[in-house]
């Protein structure tokens, strides 16, 4: 039981000898750990390190485990970290459905089954029937929902959220928070949230770590 | 990792042919050419060179042509950018001039020749009403002894090139802000630009300017078409010696190549001296606080010169096209009295070979260049930083060393290793010149790509190859196809590498066109030059239309 969830084991990130992040934490399945700090303190580097795309300018040590597997020893594509950024970043050269099909793991059934799961994923974020749309024609809130559905479709081991709500307007932001955190609880995913917005941390409900103080 | 190969291949392609080529050129200049029995150090080739008639006039002609071309085209581009950047007129002229970049030098030279020759279009338009000419007058306008039409031919072709590199450098200096600031101090538009913005733009376009000098001091195709003949510029005479069946002339040619290298080096040296003087003059005016606000004449002249240089090529190209379908066309009629495809039908059977070689070599060298450029850029992503300044200098190496000086040695090496006049050798020779352009035109769009897409796809469990094939490649379809079109245009326009490495057995449309130029059959020249101009144009059209069709239903993938 202690192995379940995300375990950040003495992760330290430095830039030119200056320490930016130093953290040891456990995040249980379905629980959110919020990392807060003003912009520019490098809180996103923690996500980058766990996700496997830390800029070579930084030096990092320490390990991260998910369900007992040391993900920091794996290639980025083998870590299965679901990432959400500020922008939805839907692939502009694919339809909405194409974005989701691209995310579905390769071994998940025949063509019909994959299409069924894609539609189900879209319906799960309240966007049933939009699979043939060009992502460019969606509203901001719809794009954010598709991005969430896409991340979940890939069956990730954990969610890494990099200020995912900051570009949405106030009403939409609340809805998205609700949706993201409830999905994480449903699927039992540990979540690492990086934000500078107190309200995000409050809605997340879990522990809060403050950087840069 | 595969990407490690990128920089290695690039460095290899950029340096090995130049280094070995230079060695192969220089050793015979001092008597070393073992295949012909030259085993001992000797100054005889150089002595023989200096005994050639009018060799110094040829060298001087090359030197002057190089410096004049660089100076005039740079000044026009600088003044035009100073006077008009940020206006709608600027954007329009930019769109007008950009396509000219892809017109091969030889085609532009033919275009100019067909325009300004005594029997050219301009003379026809004003005759006989203004001139009274009923027959083409016996004037040496093309091939004039001072090389003026050759320089004009080079200038009209280098202006689009320098304008484009200037435009690429412009956004980095935040022109709108600085312009407003300087204007608020009461400086004239042109003076303010030259005092405030040009000093940060020029260092970024310095290597391209050197490339212009190197090209213009050693140009062959434009010189053959427009340049003086008694004596011809140095590089033209060199190529004559290199292709002479009398092999002992190889020593002379090598000595000549050495002189060519020296001439180009002197030209660049003089240019650097000129840079210092000009900077000092600029600083003196700036520190004196000269506002120079009455610059309207300068502004309008800059626009006029720009339009004139672009218009000349367009009008000339139209004339070429007209000649290719002309039946009887008597002097001084402005238009042919009949049109027909007879010329085309007659030439068509001879076109297949050169056209096939042009396409094959162009596509193969461009594909190789695009792959190497992509590998290099992918490697830069892994390293987390762009390569240093030395890499940029390396990129310009084949463009700043006179082509003729190292291609001749390369030709010797290829002969020795038995690969001369093979397609592989020709593709390799073209690759040397295509790669710099491929890398330079891909690097900005590649770096502008939002890498979070890549990170996100990795989070979705996609490996490096899948991320490249399914995310990055499709999202960069447009710039990559544009790079292919640019590379292809460069390859189509290459004359000297084709002539020397193809050795007359592999010919392209460009090498054929220049060879036919001597014959003077305007209808046939018209066809070849027209094709020369159309091939790059078709490349760009494909690069525009294909992505528009593939992504027609996806809005963010449109331009």
Could you list the residue range(s) of the whole structural domain that residue A76 is in? 1-80+156-213
By C-alpha distance, which of B173, B516, B55 is closest to B320?
A: B516
Q: Is B469 on the interface with A (CB under 8 A)?
A: no
Tell me which residue in A92, A151, A154 faces B556 most closely, judged by beta carbons. Answer: A92
> Looking at beta carbons, which residues of chain A come within 8 Å of B385?
56-57
Q: Is B461 on the interface with A (CB under 8 A)?
A: yes
Find out whether A122 and A63 touch, Cβ atoms under 8 Å.
Answer: no
Q: Is A75 on the interface with B (CB under 8 A)?
A: yes
Task: Report pLDDT for B330.
Answer: 84
Cβ of A76 and B459 within 8 Å?
yes
Residue B559 has pLDDT above 70, yes or no: no
Question: Last residue of a domain, which of A132, A154, A176?
Answer: A154
Residue A71 maps to a domain: yes
pLDDT in tens, B258-287: 999 999 999 999 999 999 999 999 999 888
Task: Report pLDDT for B415.
Answer: 82
Residues A53 and A9 placed together within one structural domain of the fold = yes
> Looking at beta carbons, which residues of chain A come within 8 Å of B557?
92-93
Tell me which residue in B455, B456, B555 faces A134 most closely, judged by beta carbons. Answer: B555
**Chain B nearest-CA residue for A78:** B461
Instruction: Kindly report the CATH number assigned to the domain that includes residue A5.
Output: 3.40.50.300
Cβ of B459 and A89 within 8 Å?
no
By C-alpha distance, which of B50, B497, B73 is closest to B256?
A: B50
Residue A21 maps to a domain: yes
Strands A59-66 and A158-162: unpaired
Residues A208 and A173 placed together within one structural domain of the fold = yes
> Looking at beta carbons, which residues of chain B come within 8 Å of A85?
452, 456
Instruction: Measure the CA–CA gap between A46 and A38, rounded to whole angstroms.
Output: 14
Residues A172 and A143 placed together within one structural domain of the fold = no
Residues A166 and A198 placed together within one structural domain of the fold = yes
**Interface size between A and B, measured as CB pairs under 8 A:** 83
By C-alpha distance, which of B201, B202, B203, B188 is closest to B286?
A: B188
Cβ of B555 and A137 within 8 Å?
yes
Residues A50 and A146 placed together within one structural domain of the fold = no
Tell me which residue in B384, B470, B471 faces A56 most closely, judged by beta carbons. Answer: B384
Task: Report pLDDT for B38.
Answer: 73
Task: Report pLDDT for A1.
Answer: 45
Residues A57 and A144 placed together within one structural domain of the fold = no
Q: Which residues pair with A22 in a beta bridge?
A: A12
pLDDT in tens, B419-466: 877 899 999 999 999 999 999 999 989 999 999 999 999 999 999 899
Instruction: Measure the CA–CA gap between B408 and B499, rounded to whole angstroms.
Output: 10
Residues A163 and A150 placed together within one structural domain of the fold = no
Residues A1 and A76 placed together within one structural domain of the fold = yes
Question: Last residue of a domain, which of A154, A176, A203?
Answer: A154
> Looking at beta carbons, which residues of chain A come within 8 Å of B554?
92-95, 134-136
Cβ of B454 and A53 within 8 Å?
yes
Residue B86 has pLDDT above 80, yes or no: yes
Which one of B380, B461, B478 makes the best mutation probe of the A interface by having the most chain A beta carbons within 10 Å? Answer: B461
Residues A69 and A122 placed together within one structural domain of the fold = no
Task: Report pLDDT for A213.
Answer: 63
Question: Last residue of a domain, which of A138, A154, A170?
Answer: A154
> Looking at beta carbons, which residues of chain A come within 8 Å of B451?
53
Per-domain boundaries in chain B: 1-30+350-559, 46-340
Residues A133 and A178 placed together within one structural domain of the fold = no
Task: Report pLDDT for B292.
Answer: 85
Residue A86 maps to a domain: no
Taking the CA of residue A165 and the nearest CA in chain B, the distance in Å comes to: 16
pLDDT in tens, A14-47: 988 888 888 899 999 989 999 988 777 778 899 9
Task: Report pLDDT for B446.
Answer: 93
Residue B185 has pLDDT above 60, yes or no: yes
Alpha carbon distances (Å) from B55 to B61, B446, B460: 10, 48, 68
As a whole number, mean pLDDT of residues B296-322 equals: 91
Tell me which residue in B459, B474, B551 faces A51 most closely, judged by beta carbons. Answer: B459
Residue A36 maps to a domain: yes
CATH topology of domain B46-340: MetI-like fold (1.10.3720)
Please state the domain count of chain A: 2
Find out whether B149 and B141 touch, Cβ atoms under 8 Å.
Answer: yes
Find out whether B124 and B331 touch, Cβ atoms under 8 Å.
Answer: yes
Alpha carbon distances (Å) from B92 to B73, B96, B176, B306, B457: 19, 6, 18, 12, 40
Q: Is A154 on the interface with B (CB under 8 A)?
A: yes
Q: Is A96 on the interface with B (CB under 8 A)?
A: no
Q: pTM for this one?
A: 0.88
Alpha carbon distances (Å) from A134 to B305, B467, B503, B552: 46, 21, 53, 10
Task: Write the CB contacts of B284 (distance below 8 Å, at least 6 apart in sequence).
Answer: none
Taking the CA of residue A174 and the nearest CA in chain B, the distance in Å comes to: 24
**Domain B1-30+350-559, second-level architecture:** Orthogonal Bundle (1.10)
Residue A85 maps to a domain: no
> Looking at beta carbons, which residues of chain B come within 8 Å of A52?
458
Q: Is B389 on the interface with A (CB under 8 A)?
A: no
As a whole number, mean pLDDT of residues B132-161 equals: 89
By C-alpha distance, which of A65, A58, A59, A55 is closest to A6?
A: A65
> Looking at beta carbons, which residues of chain A come within 8 Å of B460?
82, 102-103, 150-151, 154
Indicate the pLDDT class of residue B472, thresholds 50, 70 and 90: very high
pLDDT in tens, A152-170: 999 999 999 999 998 888 8
Task: Report pLDDT for B174.
Answer: 85
Residue B154 has pLDDT above 90, yes or no: yes
């Amino acid at each position: 039981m202690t192995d379940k969830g995300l375990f950040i084991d003495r992760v330290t990130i430095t830039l030119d000898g200056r320490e930016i992040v130093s953290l040891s934490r456990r995040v249980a399945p379905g629980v959110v750990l919020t990392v807060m700090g003003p912009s520019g303190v490098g809180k996103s580097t923690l996500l980058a390190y766990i996700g496997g795309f830390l800029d070579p300018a930084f030096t990092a040590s320490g390990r991260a485990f998910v369900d007992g597997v040391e993900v920091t020893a794996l290639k980025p594509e083998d870590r299965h970290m679901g990432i959400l950024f500020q922008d939805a970043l839907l692939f502009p050269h694919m339809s909405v459905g194409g974005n989701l099909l691209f995310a579905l793991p390769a071994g998940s059934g025949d063509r019909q089954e994959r299409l069924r799961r894609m539609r189900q994923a879209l319906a799960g974020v309240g966007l049933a029937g939009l699979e043939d749309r060009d992502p460019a024609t969606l509203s901001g809130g719809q794009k954010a929902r598709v991005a969430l559905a896409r991340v979940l479709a890939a069956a990730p081991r954990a969610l890494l959220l990099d200020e995912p709500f900051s570009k949405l307007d106030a009403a939409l932001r609340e809805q998205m928070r609700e949706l993201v955190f409830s999905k994480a609880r449903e699927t039992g995913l540990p979540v690492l949230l990086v934000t500078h917005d107190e309200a995000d941390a409050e809605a997340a409900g879990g522990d809060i770590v403050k950087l840069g103080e | 990792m595969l990407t490690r190969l990128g920089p290695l291949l690039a460095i290899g392609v950029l340096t090995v042919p130049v280094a070995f080529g230079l060695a192969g050129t220089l050793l015979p200049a001092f008597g070393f050419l073992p295949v012909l029995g030259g085993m001992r150090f000797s100054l005889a080739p150089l002595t023989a060179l200096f005994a050639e008639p009018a060799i110094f006039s040829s060298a001087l002609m090359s030197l002057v042509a190089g410096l004049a071309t660089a100076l005039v085209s740079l000044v026009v581009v600088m003044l035009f950018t100073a006077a008009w950047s940020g206006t709608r007129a600027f954007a329009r002229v930019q769109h007008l001039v950009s396509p000219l970049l892809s017109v091969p030098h030889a085609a532009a030279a033919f275009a100019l020749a067909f325009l300004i020759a005594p029997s050219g279009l301009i003379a026809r338009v004003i005759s006989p009403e203004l001139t009274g000419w009923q027959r083409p007058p016996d004037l040496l306008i093309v091939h004039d002894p001072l090389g003026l039409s050759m320089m004009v031919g080079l200038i009209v072709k280098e202006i689009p090139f320098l304008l484009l590199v200037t435009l690429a450098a412009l956004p980095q200096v935040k022109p709108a802000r600085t312009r407003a600031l300087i204007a608020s101090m009461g400086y004239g538009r042109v003076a303010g630009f030259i005092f405030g913005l040009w000093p940060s733009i020029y260092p970024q376009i310095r290597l391209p300017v050197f490339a212009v000098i190197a090209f213009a001091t050693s140009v062959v195709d434009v010189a053959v078409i427009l340049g003086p003949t008694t004596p011809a510029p140095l590089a033209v005479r060199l190529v004559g010696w290199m292709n002479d069946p009398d092999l002992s002339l190889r020593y002379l040619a090598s000595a000549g190549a050495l002189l060519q290298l020296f001439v180009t080096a002197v030209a660049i040296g003089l240019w650097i001296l000129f840079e210092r003087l000009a900077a000092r003059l600029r600083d003196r005016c700036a520190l004196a606080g000269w506002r120079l606000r009455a610059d309207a004449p300068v502004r309008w002249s800059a626009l006029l010169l720009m339009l004139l240089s672009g218009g000349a090529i367009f009008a000339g190209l139209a004339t070429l096209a007209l000649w290719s379908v002309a039946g009887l066309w008597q002097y001084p009629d402005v238009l042919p009295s009949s049109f027909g495809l007879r010329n085309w039908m007659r030439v068509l059977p001879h076109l297949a070979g050169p056209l096939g070689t042009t396409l094959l070599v162009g596509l193969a060298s461009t594909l190789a260049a695009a792959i190497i450029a992509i590998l290099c850029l992918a490697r830069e992503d892994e390293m987390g930083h762009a390569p240093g300044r030395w890499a940029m200098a390396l990129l310009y190496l084949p463009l700043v060393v006179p082509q003729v000086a190292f291609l001749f040695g390369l030709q010797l090496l290829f002969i020795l290793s038995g690969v001369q006049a093979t397609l592989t050798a020709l593709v390799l020779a073209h690759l040397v010149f295509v790669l710099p352009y491929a890398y330079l035109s891909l690097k900005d769009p590649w770096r502008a790509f939002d890498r979070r897409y890549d990170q996100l796809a990795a989070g979705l469990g996609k490996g490096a190859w899948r991320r490249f094939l399914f995310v990055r490649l499709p999202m960069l379809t447009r710039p990559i196809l544009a790079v292919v079109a640019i590379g292809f245009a460069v390859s189509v326009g290459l004359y000297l590498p084709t002539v020397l490495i193809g050795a007359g057995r592999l010919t392209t449309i460009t090498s054929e066109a220049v060879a036919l130029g001597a014959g003077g059959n305007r209808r046939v020249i018209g066809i070849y030059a027209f094709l020369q101009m159309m091939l790059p144009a078709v490349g760009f059209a494909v690069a525009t239309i294909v992505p528009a069709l593939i992504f027609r239903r996806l809005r963010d993938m449109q331009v």
